[in-house]
Amino acid sequence: MSRLSPTNAVPTPARVGLIGFGCVGQGLYNILQQHPEAGFTVTRIAVKNPTKLRPLPANRFEFHADDLLDDPELDLLVEVIDDADEAFRLVGAALRRGRRVATANKAMVARHLPELLELQRDFGGTLLYEAAVCGSIPVIRTIDSYFAQEPLRSVSGIFNGSSNYVLTRMREDGSDYTEALAEAQAQGFAETDPTLDMAAFDPRSKAVILAAHVCGLLLNPDDVLNLGIEHVSSADIRYAAARGQKIKVVATVQLLPGGGATVYVTPQLVPADSPLYAVEREYNGVLVEGEFAGQHFWQGRGAGGHPTGSAVLADLVALRQGSRYTYAKLDASAAVATPADLGLEVYIRNASADLLAALDLAPTSATAHDSAAEYTSGYTRLSQLHQFRDVLRAAGAFVVRTGRVRPVTQPETASLEAVFETE
Ligand code: HSE
């Protein structure tokens, strides 16, 4: 048996060009300052606004991010800006130069993954984006690499810290929605436009990215249902609590037994025996179900400068080692080309009779009443919820799934229901 011999050799630090110095950029910078033995030095920082007050001397900053892309002295680039279009322009240009890049921009990756893959193939650069999905939880790399050959049945969970924070505060302290959202913003969890968090656009981007690694599905985010909690009320929180459940925003990537896969994000009633029940505040939780590996559950901080900066650091280490994603499911012949439809059981509050009729709600129980609200429950189709998503939103309706699903093409049976029961 050979023995590893310790070495005292200190590697030359890799030189990092940092584009963006918001919550994540500062988190990463601070981690690298506190942890020099990681072997990375931020040598250039590019930001947009020259007049903004920042916690470092003004001479540390420059204002033309493009200049970093051509700098041969930089070993690695990190893109952590807010603007998804500008992020795509910069990351695209960097990949065209064959550079190694880490990004935390989920909206950009979700919207442009096919082009980003092509650029890497054509020009030999590498893009890693662990920080884009579930903050500090190493979900992308684990699914992409460790589970590369595992047939996965589903990956689901709480992928947005801000909405989970709001739901926790409303339930624990009876906080008002607006007050709880202001706290999530003050703590740096929320996006600059918090609608992205509250209306579930942000977890939708994360689910779209995951779908490529889970089952080889490349989706346009606009084709994926996202319902959020903009219209959640204290009555909804009470309604769930009275049944021993909590409302969580759950994103799901679901492989279907007959073939195909689907992706959706909605509020869901989570029972006490689900691992997601105990995931509170800005934490995220991910449930993975594999054919051979069985069930896994991962929990960790899903938002915030240090947790997300820690994920960028992990990508920097991987880039320095020459690692790239395998995209094994994308290359496999089993890659899923189109998303499938599904029957979802939901409770709906505050939808007109016309809207309920349009959703073709097949009732599963009588209309339920809370002292302050009336709920209609039944099965509808994922495709119908998607079709009427904006109408539901404009009407101020609140939709929450029970977690029960069924195929749309076959009649419901006990055994089929058992197969499809997700949480
Ligand atoms: N706004 C996001 C969230 C940040 O609340 O989860 C992390 O992606």
- The pLDDT value given to residue 337: 58
CB-based contact 69:90 (threshold 8 Å): yes
* Pocket lining for ligand 1, CB < 6 angstroms: 135, 160-162, 189-191, 197, 202, 302-303
- The residue-averaged pLDDT of 193-203 equals 98
Q: Where does the chain hold its CATH 3.30.360.10 domain(s)?
A: 148-300+332-420
Ligand 1 atom nearest the C-alpha of 162 is: 5
Catalytic entry in 206, 246, 248, 329: 206
- Rounded Cα–Cα distance for residues 90 and 81 (Å): 10
Q: Look at residue 2 and tell me whether its pLDDT is greater than 80.
A: no
Rounded to the nearest angstrom, the distance between the alpha carbon of 42 and the centre of ligand 1 is 24
Residue type, 311: A
- The pLDDT value given to residue 373: 77
Q: What angle do CA 297, 133, 273 make, to 5 degrees?
A: 25
Ligand 1 atom nearest the C-alpha of 190 is: 1
Rounded to the nearest angstrom, the distance between the alpha carbon of 179 and the centre of ligand 1 is 18
- The pLDDT value given to residue 257: 79
Query: Into which CATH architecture does domain 14-128 fall?
Result: 3-Layer(aba) Sandwich (3.40)
pTM, to two decimals? 0.93
Percent of the chain with pLDDT over 70: 90
**Where do the H-state alpha helices sit in 263-411?**
305-320, 328-331, 353-358, 382-387, 389-395
Best probe residue, ligand 1, of 191, 192, 208, 226 (max atoms within 8 Å of C-beta):
191
Q: What's the start-to-end Cα distance of the chain, in Å?
A: 46
- Rounded Cα–Cα distance for residues 113 and 119 (Å): 10
Rounded to the nearest angstrom, the distance between the alpha carbon of 194 and the centre of ligand 1 is 9
Q: Which of 171, 333, 186 is nearest to 259 (CA)?
A: 333
- Rounded Cα–Cα distance for residues 163 and 189 (Å): 9
Fold for domain 148-300+332-420? Answer: Dihydrodipicolinate Reductase; domain 2 (3.30.360)
Q: Which of 145, 108, 154, 421 is nearest to 286 (CA)?
A: 154
- The angle that helices 234-242 and 161-173 make with each other, rounded to 10 degrees, is 80
- The pLDDT value given to residue 341: 87
Report which protein residue has its CA nearest ligand 1's atom 8. 303
Beta bridge partners of 44: 17
CB-based contact 93:64 (threshold 8 Å): no
Rounded alpha-carbon distances, angstroms, from residue 67 to 18, 47, 113, 299, 314 = 12, 12, 24, 39, 25
Report which protein residue has its CA nearest ligand 1's atom 4. 303
Q: Look at residue 423 and tell me whether its pLDDT is greater than 60.
A: no
Residue type, 137: I
Rounded to the nearest angstrom, the distance between the alpha carbon of 166 and the centre of ligand 1 is 12
- For CA atoms 408, 411, 415, 417, give the dihedral sign: positive
Q: Where does the chain hold its CATH 3.40.50.720 domain(s)?
A: 14-128
Beta bridge partners of 268: 248, 401
In b/e form, how buried is each residue of 358-392, taking b as 16+ CB within 10 angstroms? bbebeeeeeeeeeeebebbbbbbbbebbbebbeeb
Higher pLDDT, 260 or 333: 260
* 206 catalytic residue (yes or no): yes
Rounded to the nearest angstrom, the distance between the alpha carbon of 120 and the centre of ligand 1 is 26
Q: Look at residue 327 and tell me whether its pLDDT is greater than 90.
A: yes
